[in-house]
Structure 1
């Protein structure tokens, strides 16, 4: 991280001074309503704001808690140890940890040179900020967003992206923009988050998994994105050395749909893109997305979009 940003986080703040002076517990009033373990976004976000960022409090264990918002932890310097639903995670410099609202989260005491920031993000921010991805019905994108926004899928996403310069720059830009008075601040924040998500989707090989089921499903979804025309479940199972029956069950359990549904949705969304953005013949588009039988393609397209491919194109 650039020193210009880091220098503002290194000094001990008032909360940390009290801890160093002898406080042995966090001041719960700063984070939570009475008699709850839910960190309240209203206590951390200014009125009307959908996103904010604050340094993580050092020198003390942060007890188990949940959030009524989506939290993203970025490790600026050093490292920190997190426990999410009983699973321990070492977050190293340059890495990102996305936490869903249902995750029970605690953090071990960190030292003076262990600097992390927490992004506090209301779900509405993702709803409004990811317009650039609306036409991209990537099943992998849906899986990741569902886990955060709809509380499905994994409880956390750990991206080991310390060596990805573009991602590091985007995170630093987001921190800078949130903390400073800049023109078109809300639009800049949304655009930066959109670009960050696009880059993270390009680096799912940097995702760390704590169980083989999540890893398997993400790999299959990435394969479906790239091989929707001809890729079969048997092909991907053989390539990844998974049992086909087991993989089929896990896909259904994790995504709510089967592999054929995933492939079909991707093919049809790609066909819709071609219809909107090219002058290719409809019969050629059918072949390009994997349907040899044009009549069958017409039936599927009409079932999904409520109109024929020709009418869909004419209405663009």
Structure 2
């Protein structure tokens, strides 16, 4: 991250100085006026804002709390431990992203001087543009759908080990810079930037370290989507149903009802978009790409690829600027 930006984020805040001077615990009045410790968007996001940031408060145990907005934690440097729903311990390292849905309950263990995290505080309406940019039926779009409902988000979180993804790091840094420097038209710019960040995470499902959805139908659907994202090469409905202790037919019906697509359609979409990414970003022969994404029938792959993108794999590669015409 840019050194000037890091110096600004590292600076000790007035709240942190009070803690260093001997204050015991966080000052809850800074976050809410309600009896229960639900951090209030009306207090944190003033003047019609849909998004803002604040550095995480260091040097103190941040007690169990909720918030009535979506929180995205970006770990700029160091290490931070979140305990979600009192049982899920999430260790954040430099470059990690943690998404917490509305009303998720969590506490944070004390951070040191060099443990720098930025909290994005986001109202669900901010994600309208990002939703339009995402395909349906992936773990992030389902997370956003749950956020839009403004209910049922208890316990939902997504943890991405995103340090190896340079575009994700750059996009997160761009948003932090834009919000700290109060750039003009930052809302619109950051809505598109957030959408691009989500697309990168969807394209790199292997970075999804863990997710803890709420109970019931949301839990099953989020688990199914996370399974497809991480295991698309070998995924099967039967294996997933066994993992979740559900009958095949019940899981199939639930996925169709909640996402509008069947398990097979979601899996095919993930495989095809992963194949498109490999064709676009590498010089691998198409035959290797077919194997890598989990297909064993070349003719079938060519047919469904053309149906999805309107081009053969070779034509798709030729359409990418600066790419050699490997096949």
The two structures share one fold, judged by TM-score above 0.5: yes
Alignment of 1:97-176 (within 5 A): 97-133=98-134, 136-150=135-149, 151=151, 155-176=156-177
Would you say the 8 A contact 1:98–1:156 is kept in 2? yes
Given the superposition, is the C-alpha separation of residues 171 and 138 from structure 1 closer, same or farther in structure 2, using an over 3 Å criterion?
A: same
Which position in structure 2 is the counterpart of 1:39?
Answer: 39
Which position in structure 2 is the counterpart of 1:209?
Answer: 210
Task: Supply the distance in 2 between the matched residues of 1:173 and 1:140 (Cα, whole angstroms).
Answer: 24
Task: Supply the distance in 1 between the matched residues of 2:256 and 2:81 (Cα, whole angstroms).
Answer: 29
Q: CA deviation at 1:187?
A: 1.6
Alignment of 1:295-314 (within 5 A): none
What secondary structure is seen at the aligned counterpart in 2 of 1:7?
helix
What is the total number of aligned residue pairs between the two structures?
A: 263
Would you say the 8 A contact 1:39–1:66 is kept in 2? yes
Task: Supply the distance in 2 between the matched residues of 1:232 and 1:91 (Cα, whole angstroms).
Answer: 31
Would you say the 8 A contact 1:251–1:258 is kept in 2? no
Task: Supply the distance in 2 between the matched residues of 1:41 and 1:255 (Cα, whole angstroms).
Answer: 34
Task: Supply the distance in 2 between the matched residues of 1:48 and 1:258 (Cα, whole angstroms).
Answer: 32
Let me know the Cα RMSD of the aligned residues. Answer: 3.5
Given the superposition, is the C-alpha separation of residues 114 and 247 from structure 1 closer, same or farther in structure 2, using an over 3 Å criterion?
A: farther
Alignment of 1:1-316 (within 5 A): 1-86=1-86, 87-133=88-134, 136-150=135-149, 151=151, 155-209=156-210, 217-220=225-228, 233-234=237-238, 237=239, 249=250, 256-257=257-258, 261-263=262-264, 288=303
Task: Supply the distance in 2 between the matched residues of 1:262 and 1:183 (Cα, whole angstroms).
Answer: 43
Q: CA deviation at 1:88?
A: 1.2
Would you say the 8 A contact 2:64–2:107 is kept in 1? yes
Would you say the 8 A contact 1:130–1:190 is kept in 2? no
Would you say the 8 A contact 2:32–2:38 is kept in 1? yes
Map Cα deviations across residues 127-176 of structure 1 (whole Å, 9 max, x no partner). Answer: 2443323xx33444432323444355761000011111110000000101
Larger Rg: 1
**Structure 1-normalised TM-score?**
0.71
**Structure 2-normalised TM-score?**
0.69
What secondary structure is seen at the aligned counterpart in 2 of 1:8?
helix
Task: Supply the distance in 1 between the matched residues of 2:25 and 2:244 (Cα, whole angstroms).
Answer: 49
